[in-house]
Chain A
C-alpha cells in the first residue's frame, strides 16, 4: 500500500483562507468611501461596477419608498419622548455606505430644518403638547422598508469592503467547480 501523504498536512492554503495575503486597508477604506471602489482598486473592475449597481438599486429603492427620511441620523423630537431627539440606530448600519449616507442624512436634516410653515402639520407630542412634524415624513411600512433597504445596502457594503481588503488580486470566489 502506498503511503500517500494526508491532505491535511500538505494543504496549500489559498489566499481566501487567511494568513497568506496581508489585509489591504487601502482597498477596504476605498470600498467604504464608494461601494465597489475597493474592488476596482485591486483590478476587479467588473465586480466593482456590479457591486456599485447592486448598492444603487438597494439605496435608491429605499429612498424611493420612504423618501429622504429613510436616511436619518437623528430622530426628530416627535418620534420619541426625549426632548431634542435621539440618535437613530439604523443610521449606524446605513453609515457603512460612507459619504453617501452622511450626505443624504444632511440633506434630510436640511429639508426638515428649512421646512416652510405650509410643510408642517400640527401633531400631539408625547407630553400631550401641540408640536409640528414635517408633512411628508414617512410612517408605517414606507418608513420601515425605506430604512431597511438603505440599512441593508450599508451593511452589505461593509462586508463587501472587507472582501476587497482580504481578496488577492485577480482572485475568484465561489467554490463551485
Chain B
C-alpha cells in the first residue's frame, strides 16, 4: 500500500513506524492547547503561552535525551566490566 492509496481515518497513517518521533511535537502542542486554555490568566496571551509551553517541554525532552545519551555512550563504557 502506498501513501497515495491511504484513506485518512479509515486506515493507519503510513510511515509512522519509522517516523514516530515527529508525532511528539503534535502531541505536546495538543496537550498545551488544552492545558493553557484552562490555566492562562489573559486569553490574549493564549497562543504565546501555548507555544512557550510546547517549546519548553520539547527542550526538556531534548535535555533528557542528551543526558541519557552521554550516560549510555560515554559514562557506562568507562565502568569496569564485571
Contact = CB atoms under 8 A, between A and B. Distances in A.
Contact of B17 (A60, A141, A156): A141
A68 B9 contact: yes
A4 B13 CA distance: 65
A145 B38 contact: no
A136 interface: yes
Contact of A145 (B20, B29, B34, B42): B20
A6 to B, nearest CB: 28
Contacts of B12: 65-67, 69, 136, 138-139, 142-143, 146
A111 B11 CA distance: 11
B20 A54 contact: no
A174 B41 contact: yes
Nearest to B34: A54
A172 interface: yes
B34 A65 contact: no
A141 B27 CA distance: 14
Given A68-B10, A152-B27, A174-B40, A55 B16 contact: no
B43 interface: yes
Contact of B29 (A57, A140, A173): A57
A140 B14 CA distance: 12
11 contacts: A35-B34, A47-B43, A51-B38, A53-B33, A61-B23, A64-B9, A65-B23, A111-B10, A141-B16, A145-B16, A163-B38
Given A57-B26, A149-B27, 18 more contacts: A50-B33, A50-B46, A53-B33, A54-B33, A58-B27, A61-B23, A69-B12, A136-B10, A141-B17, A141-B20, A144-B20, A145-B16, A152-B30, A153-B34, A157-B34, A159-B38, A160-B38, A174-B41
Interface of B: 8-13, 16-17, 20, 23, 26-27, 29-43, 46
Interface of A: 35-36, 39, 46-47, 50-51, 53-55, 57-58, 60-61, 63-69, 111, 136, 138-146, 148-149, 152-153, 156-157, 159-160, 163, 172-176
